[in-house]
Structure 1
Amino acid sequence: MNKMARVAIPIVLVIFTLGVLQLQAFGMIYVNIGDQLGQPGLAPLITSLPGIVLGIVCVIYGSLGDFVSLKKMMILGTIVFVLGSVLGCFGKTSIWIVIAARILQSAGWQVSGSIFLVLVSKYVEKKNRVIWYGIFVSVFRFAAALGVFLAGYMTLVDWRWLFGIGILAVFFIPILMKTLPDQHAKGAKIDAAGFTLIGLFAASVTMFFTDMNWFWGLACLVTLIAFVVYINKAKTPFITPKMLTNPAFAMTMVVIFVGYFFSYTLNAGINAIGLNVYGIDSSQVSNLLVWSIILAAIMGFAAGPIIRKIGRKASVVLALGCMGSGLIAVALLIPYGQIWALALAPCIYYFGTSFFYQPIVDTATLTVSAEETGRALGFNDLLQAITGSVGVALFGQLMSQGAMGGSSLSGTPAGLASTYSNVFMIGGVIVLVAMVIFIASMKMIYSHSRAAQDEA
């Protein structure tokens, strides 16, 4: 069984790679798709709604991994991913077909990431696990770069070919059937009602910023009240009122929410600047942007030792400072040409991301008891997906409508150039606000957490 499982590990990783590629590719070119289908206002939903689903299933799959048959989970997830890929090939009929296809892909693909981690932890020798974990992070980064690179070129042919790439996963199902463990145990309890309510709330907020009207505003209010009432009444909610009212945990979540608010918007915004300001196509944009993502992949290897050397606090401040400065740099450098704005400035942002995830997640888990660590990790993943989804819905609308196009601090001419400059400027300021919040609250965060014993 161990030998068979080790055969399955690289196959699962291949399917994970296909999913990351799709995630990054469509996150970059949803603007192109919306324009082609005549629905630029709804285009951000191609990224935002699947992002919410992704955040929810991250928590669910992580909870199920130790109990449900890995074979059944992986086969079902791969089938859903392939079905989404097939559906996407008919995407030129309606933008809602594209959105539905991406939701199915996201829901199915995430199984591979969760199962990969379970397989490595259970079936790989302890001394070799760190190698596979490093490969996992590396594959994510380089698959992201490949997704951005391919996305630009696919727009010159037909973006539906990206969905076609996902169909390749079907050929790995027979191998997975033979090699994945089929063991299962009792004990998994999924808070279906809690996830449904938080999902409905997140979707309502996203739709409100996409199509602002009283219905979605009312839906936000109703679902939020229902969620708060539920977690106070339920016996085992996935997130407890005690955790949410824990000041150290709550403030860490605020930093994460504000810090990741622009995360889903960056690539699409860079693509829009290339298309509408410099008049270049998405393939040329991808050639410029891909280097910043490759930098993040390389820094992924070097960041760990640096973080251990300078500590959690300094790492989070460095990360948010670079992320915010990178977005502001894009805004200010638009008048100076595509190399500066689309290639060099994003490098600052992506450099910062290499120092953010590990220390802030580590901090979040240390603000709760050891028994609540899993819930803290799950809520962190969910919050990242929600904030990125809400952010891309809001900023995507501003960009598609040409809002704030009168002028900008960078001196861009009136029109879309000023719109993009102002959007990136606001995004950068928001991230820097997260840095200020963290600096102002980090003494409280660490003094009220288990991190206090090893962090000065």
Structure 2
Amino acid sequence: MRNFRYLVSTRPAAPSCRVTTIPSQVIREGATASSPTRTTTPDAVGMDHPARVLLPLLGIYALGTVSLQGFNLVYLRVAADIGAGDSSGLITAIPGIVLGVACFLYGTLGDFVPLRRIVDVGVALIVAGSLLGFAFSSSLTGIIIARALQTLGYQASASAYMILATGIADPKRRSLYVGLMCAAFQGGTAIGMLSGGLLADINWAILLLIPLGGLAVLPIMGRRVPARAHTGRVDVVGLAIFSSLALLLTLAASNPRWWLIGGLILGGVIFWRYIGRARAPFITRSFFTNVPWARSVSLIVIIYCMNFTVAPLMNGIGAAHYGLTPAQVSVRLLPAYCVALTAAMSSGAVMARIGRGATVRGCVSLILSGTALLALFMSSGPWVITAAMCLIYAGFGALFTPIYDTVFATVAPGQNGRAVAMNDLAMQGSAAIGIGVFTPWLASGSFESIAVVCVGAAAIGILGDWAHEALYRRGR
């Protein structure tokens, strides 16, 4: 195996949907290992004023995040209103896994499909999903399909934004725009929680219309999104099989049935045989047989399984223990998102000073402390909601940069594009699966059990990262 540097505090990471580090080279990985790469920068495509393109794209993404996080807070209320029963977890689990798959697909297709076409399709999906969801807000199937379409739509703008932002030649401007992506995510999350709490008592279906606000920025952006792309073959079959497997995994985790598990196993066998025999697959077997990479990605799966769960957990605790409405809980969560934004913006400097491993373990220790605080003092007063979430979201906010650095240290430079896509899928997919698994516990009020499991997951993450670093150093 080739040897790569494991711990380099100044190591740049490849662009991602939410990563806050800056790549030193703007090279997007193609759909196949043999495909030529393409460099796309605002200057190269004639974008003399990138703000006219990037800020509108960022606005579309932020409004999509508002809707997504609002639903994450009140989805149990939505499920009760429409009579979803045991399938309530699918309301947030399926859009979550769609988000991960969307990151993966757009990251791969960005080298072969013009960004303007991707954004245009995304806008159309937002409109279709918003109108469909509002019209069929009394149907579980209608809500799930609508939210999946919205997620596919706004993530198109987010991926186009990152491709263009990380391609800016000026390091200071590049850092500014990538930092704005993180700010948009945290700000959208905070506003989404507040909106979800307020609209839960008015009409939560209005959450489905919020992404339509992104249409207001289209006249500013106009047709400035680049329309050129490298021509090449896209592995449609491989991407379709892999995307279907990801969705099937979420369904099996949320609602275990023998036929879902059997289909998942069969699909995995088909995918493995396909990438072993296809002439130009979008990903090869060697990518998955890279043991250090698999070990580092497993850390993401373990830690991020609780990411979508903590907000509805706080909502449930507030209602059951203190009689708080969703609106009152959402107000108490606002300080946590301000802390998360500060932590995310400063994580790169912290990693440069103390190192990648120490930063990861420090971030996960914050998550462990927050969940332990919940487990021990859940009934001590409503202050525990704010205090615990500040610790938990400080950890998650600062974790993006070192987590990506961990994974990129284990892959060859030519595989960075696929590593970005897989990271996003692991983050969003594990969070979606986690909320599916925890939904029955949330519905039954087993909040202490959820907190204890989250403490265990964080502890395993800390030990796993320490073991991963030790094994990697020994393998060099």
TM-score by length of 1: 0.89
Separation in 1 of the partners of 2:256 and 2:394? 35
Separation in 2 of the partners of 1:128 and 1:355? 21
| Alpha-carbon offset, residue 122 of structure 1 | 4.2
Q: Does 1:377 align with 2:420?
A: yes
Separation in 2 of the partners of 1:186 and 1:447? 42
1:229 to 257, 265, 273: 273
**What letter is aligned with 2:400?**
Y
Q: Does 1:421 align with 2:465?
A: no
- Which secondary structure state, in structure 1, belongs to the residue aligned with residue 200 of structure 2? helix
| Alpha-carbon offset, residue 446 of structure 1 | 4.2
**What letter is aligned with 1:344?**
A
The match for 2:73 is 28
The match for 2:464 is 437
- Which secondary structure state, in structure 1, belongs to the residue aligned with residue 137 of structure 2? helix
The match for 1:248 is 292
The match for 1:13 is 58
| Alpha-carbon offset, residue 15 of structure 1 | 0.6
Separation in 2 of the partners of 1:8 and 1:220? 41
**Percent identity between the aligned chains?**
27
Cα distance, 1:190–1:30 mapped onto 2, change above 3 Å:
farther
2:350 to 299, 306, 322: 306
Separation in 2 of the partners of 1:203 and 1:445? 32
Q: Is residue 130–residue 150 contact of structure 2 (8 Å, CA) maintained in 1?
A: yes
Cα distance, 1:122–1:144 mapped onto 2, change above 3 Å:
same
- Pairing 1:164-243 to 2, within 5 Å after superposition: 164-187=209-232, 189-243=233-287
The match for 1:267 is 311
- Pairing 1:348-387 to 2, within 5 Å after superposition: 348-387=391-430
| Alpha-carbon offset, residue 124 of structure 1 | 6.4
5+ long unaligned stretches in structure 2: 1-45
| Alpha-carbon offset, residue 314 of structure 1 | 0.4
Q: Does 1:45 align with 2:72?
A: no
Separation in 2 of the partners of 1:446 and 1:9? 40
2:334 to 290, 294, 306: 290
| Alpha-carbon offset, residue 26 of structure 1 | 1.1
| Alpha-carbon offset, residue 126 of structure 1 | 4.2
Q: Is residue 168–residue 174 contact of structure 2 (8 Å, CA) maintained in 1?
A: no
Separation in 2 of the partners of 1:178 and 1:316? 41
Q: Is residue 64–residue 210 contact of structure 2 (8 Å, CA) maintained in 1?
A: no
- Which secondary structure state, in structure 2, belongs to the residue aligned with residue 256 of structure 1? helix
**What letter is aligned with 2:268?**
L
Q: Is residue 55–residue 383 contact of structure 1 (8 Å, CA) maintained in 2?
A: yes
Q: Is residue 8–residue 179 contact of structure 1 (8 Å, CA) maintained in 2?
A: yes
Q: Is residue 6–residue 123 contact of structure 1 (8 Å, CA) maintained in 2?
A: no
Separation in 1 of the partners of 2:177 and 2:80? 41
**What letter is aligned with 1:31?**
L
- Pairing 1:51-66 to 2, within 5 Å after superposition: 51-66=96-111
Separation in 2 of the partners of 1:9 and 1:355? 24
**Alpha-carbon displacement from aligned partner over 1:130-162 (angstroms, at most 9, x marks no partner):** 111112211211111111111100111101111
1:103 to 148, 159, 165: 148
1:89 to 115, 131, 134: 134
**What letter is aligned with 2:405?**
D
The match for 1:407 is none
- Which secondary structure state, in structure 2, belongs to the residue aligned with residue 178 of structure 1? coil
- Pairing 1:131-150 to 2, within 5 Å after superposition: 131-150=176-195
The match for 2:360 is 316
| Alpha-carbon offset, residue 123 of structure 1 | 5.6
Cα distance, 1:313–1:5 mapped onto 2, change above 3 Å:
closer
CA RMSD of aligned residues (A): 1.9
Q: Is residue 152–residue 282 contact of structure 1 (8 Å, CA) maintained in 2?
A: yes
Separation in 2 of the partners of 1:104 and 1:375? 23
Separation in 1 of the partners of 2:281 and 2:447? 41
Cα distance, 1:122–1:201 mapped onto 2, change above 3 Å:
closer
Separation in 1 of the partners of 2:124 and 2:306? 32
Q: Is residue 108–residue 418 contact of structure 2 (8 Å, CA) maintained in 1?
A: no
Q: Is residue 68–residue 185 contact of structure 1 (8 Å, CA) maintained in 2?
A: yes
5+ long unaligned stretches in structure 1: 403-415
**What letter is aligned with 2:393?**
Y
Q: How many residues align?
A: 431
| Alpha-carbon offset, residue 184 of structure 1 | 2.8
More relative contact order, 1 or 2 (CA 8 Å, 6+ apart): 2
**What letter is aligned with 1:155?**
A
**What letter is aligned with 1:191?**
D
| Alpha-carbon offset, residue 368 of structure 1 | 1.1
Separation in 2 of the partners of 1:6 and 1:325? 40
2:383 to 329, 334, 339: 339
- Pairing 1:394-409 to 2, within 5 Å after superposition: 394-400=437-443, 402=444
Cα distance, 1:185–1:243 mapped onto 2, change above 3 Å:
closer
Q: Is residue 330–residue 346 contact of structure 1 (8 Å, CA) maintained in 2?
A: no
The match for 1:393 is 436
Separation in 2 of the partners of 1:165 and 1:338? 30
Separation in 1 of the partners of 2:265 and 2:366? 35
Q: Is residue 82–residue 169 contact of structure 1 (8 Å, CA) maintained in 2?
A: no
**What letter is aligned with 1:194?**
G
Cα distance, 1:386–1:264 mapped onto 2, change above 3 Å:
same
The match for 2:36 is none
Q: Is residue 166–residue 178 contact of structure 2 (8 Å, CA) maintained in 1?
A: no
- Which secondary structure state, in structure 2, belongs to the residue aligned with residue 335 of structure 1? coil
Cα distance, 1:370–1:172 mapped onto 2, change above 3 Å:
same
**What letter is aligned with 1:317?**
R
* Bigger shift: residues 47-56 or 322-331: 322-331
**What letter is aligned with 1:438?**
D
Q: Is residue 69–residue 184 contact of structure 1 (8 Å, CA) maintained in 2?
A: yes
Separation in 2 of the partners of 1:245 and 1:69? 32
| Alpha-carbon offset, residue 395 of structure 1 | 0.6
Select the structure that is richer in helix: 1
- Which secondary structure state, in structure 1, belongs to the residue aligned with residue 308 of structure 2? coil
Separation in 1 of the partners of 2:136 and 2:345? 38
**Alpha-carbon displacement from aligned partner over 1:89-120 (angstroms, at most 9, x marks no partner):** 12432111111111001111111111112232
